Structure 1
């Protein structure tokens, strides 16, 4: 290997992949650790392809059925580390797995995962967070990396930091990640300890800036105590194949 893979291997071993949920007829947790270890240590195209086959056939995704598993979210930082430092063939395989996971997740209305900011986040939105966090890496990872960033932008996220009551709802000031489609949109309002999220209508209160993540969205018909700081808004179309493109 041309890089120190010890940290990545430790990250793989630190997860009990069998504890993560997934359909018993498709998800094979034994493939995850084996496939990720093989991908992290691959020194050629054949080894990378073999590892990718393990992960694509019941490990992180199931190609034949178009399914994606919560393990893909947990594995995303590991795959991105392989893109950054692994063998070029392994990096290309990791990008392909991330691409499949995001594409499959966009049509999966059932599966949600726990994140640091909400208890029931669609897999596509959770993956998009990881991809945006590696924007610099993906921007220099060829056409597939740039395409992943473009797809992640559809899965926008708005973190509420301050709110003001208005006659017809709440003006929420906060930070926007990704690309808000514009106009009035249905959004999932995630509050700590509340599952499932509340569906609301939101729209830009002021014109959005392409140069700053700071934004203000109007939450129609909401009460001030329902849109408190730490609330997170995500597009309702995510996880149903209906996200606004």
Structure 2
């Protein structure tokens, strides 16, 4: 675990130079991974929450939080039991805090410039089975992550002047009308009206308990007033609210 922490070039990650200190992230993560008592856990948390992955005084998250997310999950899953609650708590704070202007996006696993919160949410969904197994605390963290949904278009057809997109939904898109941002070929654009056209496809989890262990499901969305050519296969939709988050 310590080697994985050292393998990251934390100094290359962007962040407000007057608030983000890369060396603090390294010291904090290593201290948390090696903590043997609550005092050491508290000291590690203090580092990470102040100029590490967060800036506690301004309640802001740094891009380093997205890179640290899988490491914090490793600590929670495989590290000292005394550190688990703090590791998960830091992930929850990073998900909720807004980033500073100019440092709001990171490149995700698909090479897309996604909002910081969406990148953190992805890492949490990857560990869904582990988090569900933790009970209430893990499920609560997952529920927060799933509000940062992600939809990838697989096929799109025209219907009554709208575009109906079939694809894969990660997270949970509630009923109602939503604004979204689209990502295609490095270009980010906006959509004003996105709704769920059909419930989850047959064979997808239907009950809450079943859904807790699924990270993705087939879904169908209606995009009002758009044409299929505007949403070709591979287009990714994310919540517009996430893209607007700035400290």
TM-score when normalising by structure 2: 0.87
Match of 1:55 in 2: 48
Between Structure 1 and Structure 2, which shows a larger proportion of strand residues? Answer: 2
> In the alignment, is the contact (CA less than 8 A) between 2:32 and 2:44 conserved in 1?
yes
The partner residue of 2:205 within 207, 211, 219 is: 211
> In the alignment, is the contact (CA less than 8 A) between 2:117 and 2:242 conserved in 1?
yes
Q: Cα distance, 1:120 vs. partner?
A: 2.4
Q: Cα distance, 1:130 vs. partner?
A: 0.8
> In the alignment, is the contact (CA less than 8 A) between 1:163 and 1:228 conserved in 2?
yes
CA distance in 2, matches of 1:10, 1:178: 31
Q: Cα distance, 1:200 vs. partner?
A: 4.0
Q: Per-residue displacement from partner, 1:114-133 (whole Å, max 9, x unpaired)?
A: 11335321111111111111
Taking structure 1 as reference, are residues 233 and 108 closer, same or farther at Cα in structure 2, changes over 3 Å only? farther
In the TM superposition, what are the counterparts of 1:145-164 in structure 2 within 5 Å? 145-164=138-157
Tell me, yes or no, if structure 1 residue 82 matches structure 2 residue 65.
no
TM-score when normalising by structure 1: 0.87
CA distance in 2, matches of 1:182, 1:117: 27
Taking structure 1 as reference, are residues 221 and 193 closer, same or farther at Cα in structure 2, changes over 3 Å only? same
Taking structure 1 as reference, are residues 123 and 32 closer, same or farther at Cα in structure 2, changes over 3 Å only? same
Question: Which shows bigger deviation, 108-117 or 79-88?
Answer: 108-117
CA distance in 2, matches of 1:197, 1:40: 40
Taking structure 1 as reference, are residues 218 and 21 closer, same or farther at Cα in structure 2, changes over 3 Å only? same
Which structure 1 segments of 5+ residues have no match?
1-7
In the TM superposition, what are the counterparts of 1:60-139 in structure 2 within 5 Å? 60-105=53-98, 111-117=104-110, 119-139=112-132
Q: Cα distance, 1:32 vs. partner?
A: 0.8
Q: Cα distance, 1:46 vs. partner?
A: 1.5
Q: Per-residue displacement from partner, 1:200-237 (whole Å, max 9, x unpaired)?
A: 42112223467261111112222322211111111111
Which structure 2 segments of 5+ residues have no match?
207-216
